[in-house]
A and B are shown apart, each in its own frame.
Chain A
Amino acid sequence: MSDTLLGVKDLVVEFSTRRGILTAVDKVSFDLERGEVLGLVGESGAGKSITGSAIVGLIDPPGRIAAGTVHLAGQRIDNLPSEKMRRIRGDKIGMVFQDPLTSLNPLYTVAKQLVQTILTHKDISKKQARDRAIELLDKVGIPAADLRIDDYPHQFSGGMRQRVVIALALCADPELIIADEPTTALDVSVQSQIVGVLKKMCSEHGASVILITHDMGVIAEAADRVAVLYSGRMAEIGPVRDVIKHPQHPYTKGLMGSIPTITQEGDRLTQIPGSMPRLTDRPPGCAFAPRCEMAMDVCRQNHPEEKDVGTARVACHLMRKEGAVA
């Protein structure tokens, strides 16, 4: 019995528009172990947020899951009726979004929101629920939690609000937490605090996390494994250390080279020419081929299969021969 919490297999998400059907997520597969933090990175439009929404069943029309399966703790959840899915979201999945204000009701105190959420999931008294809420706020690092719990969301600063949202997501002791760009709206010095809180809380609660972000720095700090998405497809997935230090896919290589770091010398950054194709005119074959220096004829015709390369899984025709290409 493996310890897989979440299994996503060949997930396809389509949006029907007047210009035809857009495949926003194209056959994405990955597994998530219990207690693991998986990073989903990609540029805007790479399909990372849509993948997250698809897992929790929050794709609204005109979008739909067109193919593939999602299993949570052995149960298939992608085809559940919305009422059942809603209950699973409440019980087993916690969510943290970029803008904390979308998750908090401005009209209620933090105490009321936390206590209510705890009470819907646990059969305990109001007093106990409140104690539990204070404990959670304390754990996510809100100073004087017993006093501040009766404040309204707008009385907290951005960073503190995001901590409240994390506490709220943890209320039901979820098995899976989906954090969609949780630090993007925050200041640099607060960002790393939030990443720290998220990481600590998940290991304490034994929850698995899908961390969706465009920021490789956040991934490097928080994730165990990372999946790199490009134009709705998986480019590379593997342990964070390996993907960052020894990226295999030409896109990941270019991406890592294009991030300025504080230790790097030299004047120019590695740059990937062009930009990610719009979903409306994704080229046939490998979506990265037009920007890839090493593209071969086959890349322009056939979409590459994912192959195991060392510890990683990579979708690139270059990987055909014997694993890594330097």
Chain B
Amino acid sequence: MSMNKETDEKMSVIARVLDSDIWYSFTRSKVTMVAALVTFLIFASALFAPIISPHDPFDLASLSLMDSLLPPAWNAEGDPNYLLGTDDQGRDVLSTILYGSRISLAVGLVSVAFAAVLGITLGLVAGYMGGRVDAIIMRVADVQLSFPAILIALLIDGTVNALVGGMDRERSAFTVLVISIGLSFWVQYARTVRSSTLVERNKEYVQAARLIGLHPFLIMLRHVLPNVMGPVLVIATINLALAVITEATLSFLGVGIPGTQPSLGTMIRTGNDFLFSGEWWITFFPGAMLAALVLAVNLLGDWLRDALNPKLR
């Protein structure tokens, strides 16, 4: 069978991936494969939005109020130019969604990366050092956890706006979102990494490294970190979905991305005003996009958690 050692050595990285348990469990789950496909399509369309979208929603010159509030193309009053209709400013809904998911995903990815780096670092240090350092970091985490993400975001947004003023709002919005979402998510990484670190720290390979007098920083970086990344990957995936939702929520509440460069959340908020007058498409399509993205990413995260957890197999 395939355990032959000679061939094992020569296996390339790709072959190793194809042979791995993760890949196997991936190919065994139809739902996961569909979720991965959907995620990939959304990421790709967001990435290539400037190329594939039929209109440029930011090009004010091409906008015409004459075209505003058109229903989707298959409707009697629809315009074949605007497949999913247009919003109140005459922007093509499809193009805006593509550009909007670009912003939503960027906020999600950057804030998740920010939260992960912060949380992993603090969790590693807390778990490895223990004692007082651990106590302080984890108490800060507890305090952090008692503030809901939205409250933190509102606080930061309010503070920044007060300091910067309305002028730089457009420029600061992205940073404010990333920082506030990141700050409300790091605790989960810190706690998970800390508890895995507590386990790994007592394993004998870490003791072997301590024995030769390796610096604690190097032990954390070279030995502990690679072995605690499994659960982090799972959290990061699920957090991506959460971050996108939080961004949408904040934008919906008006503290997020401003209407000139709409994210999915901003679009939903705009559309919300027209929902009762019958222009459902402005809010429905961005909402469906958001739901599809979050569902797909969540399914991927769930699968990853099961695949990485040997106890469930």
Contacts and interface: CB of A to CB of B under 8 A. Distances in A.
A177 B109 CA distance: 58
B73 to A, nearest CB: 47
Interface string B1-40: 1111000000000000000000010000000000000000
B3 A278 contact: yes
Nearest to A22: B1
B3 A281 contact: yes
Interface string A235-262: 0000000000000000000000000000
A54 to B, nearest CB: 21
A278 B8 CA distance: 15
A20 interface: yes
A268 interface: no
Contact of A18 (B3, B4, B24): B24
- Mostly, the B contact residues are loop
Contacts, number: 11
Contacts of A280: 1, 3
Interface string A256-282: 000000000000000000000010110
Interface string A14-57: 00001110000000000000000000000000000000000000
A127 B183 CA distance: 62
Interface string B31-58: 0000000000000000000000000000
A13 to B, nearest CB: 18
Contacts of A20: 1
Nearest to B21: A18
Contacts of A281: 1, 3-4
A20 B1 CA distance: 8
B8 to A, nearest CB: 12
A20 B24 CA distance: 13
A141 B208 CA distance: 43
Nearest to A20: B1
Contacts of A278: 3
Interface string A53-78: 00000000000000000000000000
Nearest to B2: A19
B311 to A, nearest CB: 14
A287 to B, nearest CB: 15
Nearest to B25: A18
A18 B1 CA distance: 11
Contacts of B3: 19, 278, 280-281
Contacts of B2: 19
Nearest to A19: B1
B27 to A, nearest CB: 10
Interface of B: 1-4, 24
Given A19-B2, A281-B1, 9 more contacts: A18-B24, A19-B1, A19-B3, A20-B1, A278-B3, A280-B1, A280-B3, A281-B3, A281-B4
11 contacts: A18-B24, A19-B1, A19-B2, A19-B3, A20-B1, A278-B3, A280-B1, A280-B3, A281-B1, A281-B3, A281-B4
Across chains A and B, which 7 residue pairs bring their CB atoms closest together, nearest first? A280-B3, A281-B3, A280-B1, A18-B24, A19-B1, A20-B1, A19-B2
